[in-house]
Structure 1
Amino acid sequence: MSLEDAFANFTRRDWERESPDGTVRLAVIGVGGFARNRALPGIADGSYCETTMLVSGSPDRARAVAESFDVSHIVDYDAFLAGDHAETYDAVYVATPNATHGRYAIAAAEHGKHVICEKPLDTSLERAREIADACTDAGVTLMTAYRLQTEPTVRRTRELVRDGVVGEVVQIHGGFSHPLLEHAGPGSWRLDPDLAGGGALVDLGVYPLNTTRFVLDCDPEGVYATTHSSGEPFDAVDEHVAFQLEFDTGATASCTASFDAHASSRLELVGTDGTISIASPFGGVVPQEMVVESGDVRMEYTGPPVDEVREEFDYFGYCVLTGTDPEPDGEDGLTDLRAIEAAYESAETNCRVALE
């Protein structure tokens, strides 16, 4: 692949090989800030999904949201678990705190519904495996909500790596920091280890972790990590984390994440014959700016932002409608949780931890 070919039709949906009829009717479980501000608008703007039910702990408070997005049904969590109005939706989007993902994803599978679940799949590898097994047993689609895997800049990066445009990738540098307390109070569930399953690593570090695995098309074989917390309100979780992933190709990925630093994100790949740099890949809206150096050739691309949340739900809907297995499936979510648990073990022991 030449650089010109990579930048031509940059926002193409290479996964969209046919035009299926119909839409996947979604029950959105959890109507928090991300669901209201990103997921529901993304679903509404897309082609292959529509929201037909909201599941909320406060149905009365969710009524205005339902009216805004023309959603016909609202139920509370117990009613969802009991299967109320199950005939009104085909799949669920689980957007509740991490420790509750399994409860709702497994119930959905038992109701015969497809599942797209926010990452991490749950707070432990064991519990996440129960979700994957439930969906397999029920014969329903399970997709882990790694929206960056549908984002054009990240997909073009994977193509460039696959085609050897920068040679063999040797080093990856990824970082994501987000000042949590500017957007949430000290009582946020993200600071509760029982609900979140961890801190900055689980909430932010999973982005460079999964994106690195995706663009390399390879899983790490070892991890070394350190964590630090300065005190309340971060005393129960990791405020800052640094971790290094080792791959059997010889590549290493050096990644950082922070709950208490200036908002920033970056991803750079260094190969034997070039580099790829993506501007702000993890911050919510990728600005479609990347620089590629290949030998003596240097090219920059800048284009209009693409809503990766819309792309994510359209990809999920497409997979359900066409019977296609999604790339970010349950096993993808399990692999990240395996690396996360190993990183926390490494931080506790100050030792490298091997990954199976």
Structure 2
Amino acid sequence: MYDTTLSETRRRDWDGDATGTLRLAIVGCGNYARSVSIPAIVEGRYAEATVAVSGDPDKRASLADEFGVTAVDYDEYEAGAATDEYDAVYVATPNRLHLPHVRTAASHGKHVICEKPLEATVARAEELVAACEDAGVRLMTAYRMQTDPVMRRLREFVADGGIGDLRRATGDFAFPVLGGGRDPDQWRLDGRLAGGGALYDVGVYPLNTARFLAGDDPVAVSATTRSPDPAFDEVDQYADFRVEFDDWVGGFSAAFSGREHTFLELLGSDGRVAVESAFQPGVARDVTVETAEGRVAVADAGADETVEEFDYFAHAVLSDGDIEPDGADGLVDMRTLKAIQESAASGARVEL
């Protein structure tokens, strides 16, 4: 069974009869959007970047020159500038700014793909989802790992009983947010803008991906966080959290310091799957599957999941197809992250 699973780690199971191209406005053109997201959109099949929204005039000029987009500022975006040049909006601004930018997109009748976590607080995330529902526009939470073909094949494998009954998942994401000379004044270290530190920014990856592979939602959490470096006095520098599900438990960690590292493992009654380099964008995954049938290891599995992410969203809008990582999915994680913060503050287990 696992031979078939690991031989199809580039198959798009969602790619059907969509025709045309979805034109995207990129709202928030920081380093990630410029260096990862926009190039992925350009590389893909179903989406194209046609408008860029930035508050920096030099950046607007650079984006227009490099990508051939129409560049506007935030006031122009809110006022409806260039709405005839895009069909949907990709929101990649700091977490606490997602709500107003999504609300603007919805008011213009534009579909939305919004970076995760959806917002800085649960209440604001709920308003964001409601704004899209009230306007009748599609909303996708930008969980790129859910669109990586290798993760989709592993989900099928787990659902088919490939490792028996799931007992435990572990996952880690360490990202040195101040490494490489990165600005210490960045928004990720601003508690109000970010909502949380390593937990919100990278901890959501093992949490959501494990949920996706298992098809389950949490029932309780317990956690600790710490920030020994004064640079992280407004957000968590390290987070370790235990997430309980009905029949299994997850143990996850997130870090804003140390060597970059990502890993995900699922242990079942009859087997194991493990993914090295599990969450970095555009990095080849190394996958190991162990069952009673034997052990199989595959290097360079999957595809560029950011290309997959935008093509998945565009295809769903163009074909009126399902969007799995929708607003409801994003809200599950927002409520779980809030419970994790409450547990870390109180030292108590928190039920969901």
Per the shorter chain, which TM-score range? over 0.9
1:131 partner letter? L
**1:115 match:** 112
Displacement of 1:176 in angstroms is 0.4
- Mapped partners of 2:86, 2:297: distance in 1: 43
Question: 1:49 is matched by which residue type in structure 2?
Answer: A
| Secondary structure of the corresponding residue to residue 180 of structure 1 | coil
In the other structure, the counterpart of 1:32 is 30
Structure 1 match to 2:177 = 180
Q: Whole-Å Cα distance in 1 between the matches of residues 169 and 257 of structure 2? A: 23
Q: Does 1:317 align with 2:314?
A: yes
Number of the residue aligned with 1:214? 212
Question: Contact 2:8–2:153 at 8 Å: present in 1 too?
Answer: no
1:299 — aligned with what?
A: 296
Task: Name the amino acid aligned to 1:206.
Answer: V
| Aligned ranges 1:65-84 → 2 under 5 Å | 65-71=63-69, 73-84=70-81
- The answer to whether the Cα contact below 8 Å between 1:141 and 1:325 also exists between their aligned partners in 2 is no
The root-mean-square deviation of aligned C-alpha atoms, in Å, is 1.1
Contact 2:222 2:349 in 1 (8 A): yes
What letter corresponds to residue 205 of structure 2 in structure 1?
Y
Residue 155 of structure 1, CA deviation: 1.1
Distance 2:285 2:189 in 1: 32
**What SS is found at the alignment partner of 1:309?**
helix
2:226 is matched with 228
* Deviations 1:148-189, CA, capped at 9 Å, x for gaps: 000122111111110101101101110000111114221111
190-199 or 58-67: which moved more? 58-67
Contact 2:221–2:349 (Cα < 8 Å) also in 1: yes
| Counterpart in the other structure of 2:158 | 161
Kept after mapping to 2: 8 A contact 1:153/1:278: no
Match of residue 23 from structure 1: 21
Distance 1:67 1:312 in 2: 25
Residue 151 of structure 1 contacts residue 308 of structure 1 at CA under 8 Å; is this kept in 2? yes
> Corresponding residue for 1:241?
239
Whether the aligned pair in 1 keeps the contact of 2:150 and 2:302 (CA below 8 Å) is no
Alignment of 1:1-356 (within 5 A): 2-16=1-15, 18-71=16-69, 73-183=70-180, 184-249=182-247, 251-303=248-300, 306-355=303-352
Cα contact 2:282–2:306 (8 A) shared by 1: no
SS at match of 1:53: strand
SS in 1 for 2:155: helix
Q: Which runs of 4+ in 1 moved over 3 A?
A: none
Structure 2 distance, partners of 1:303, 1:19, is 28
Conserved? CA contact 1:266–1:278, under 8 Å: yes
| Partners of 2:189 and 2:197 within 8 A in 1 | yes
- CA distance in structure 1 between the aligned counterparts of 2:24 and 2:260, rounded to whole angstroms: 32
Q: Using structure 1 for the length normalisation, give the TM-score.
A: 0.96
Q: Find the aligned partners of 1:198 and 1:314 in 2 and give their Cα distance.
A: 29
C-alpha separation in 1, matches of 2:233 and 2:8? 47
Tell me if the contact between 1:145 and 1:312 (Cα under 8 Å) persists in the aligned partners. yes
* Aligned amino acid, residue 240 of structure 2: A
Give secondary structure in 2 for the equivalent of 1:303.
Answer: strand
**How many angstroms does 1:85 deviate by?**
1.4
Does the 8 Å contact 2:242/2:251 carry over to 1?
A: yes
Q: Separation in 1 of the partners of 2:34 and 2:21?
A: 20
1:96 positional shift:
0.5
Q: What is the Cα deviation at residue 134 of structure 1?
A: 0.9
**Conserved? CA contact 1:115–1:141, under 8 Å:** yes
The one-letter amino acid of 1:10's match is T
TM-score of the superposed pair, with normalisation by structure 2 = 0.98
User: What SS does the aligned partner of 2:178 have?
Assistant: helix
Amino acid at match of 2:189: L
Unaligned runs of 5+ in 2: none
Q: Give the Cα separation in 2 of the matches to 1:42 and 1:138.
A: 28
- Residues of 1 paired with 2:234 and 2:124: CA distance? 21
**Residue pair 1:90, 1:114 contacting (<8 A) in 2 also:** yes
- 1:200 is aligned with what amino acid? A
What's the CA shift for 1:9? 2.6
Shift of 1:60: 3.3
Residue 70 of structure 1: CA displacement? Answer: 1.8
Post-superposition offset of 1:68: 1.3
Aligned length: 351
> How far is 1:304 from its partner?
5.7
Contact 2:63 2:71 in 1 (8 A): no
Structure 1: give runs of 5+ residues left out of the alignment: none
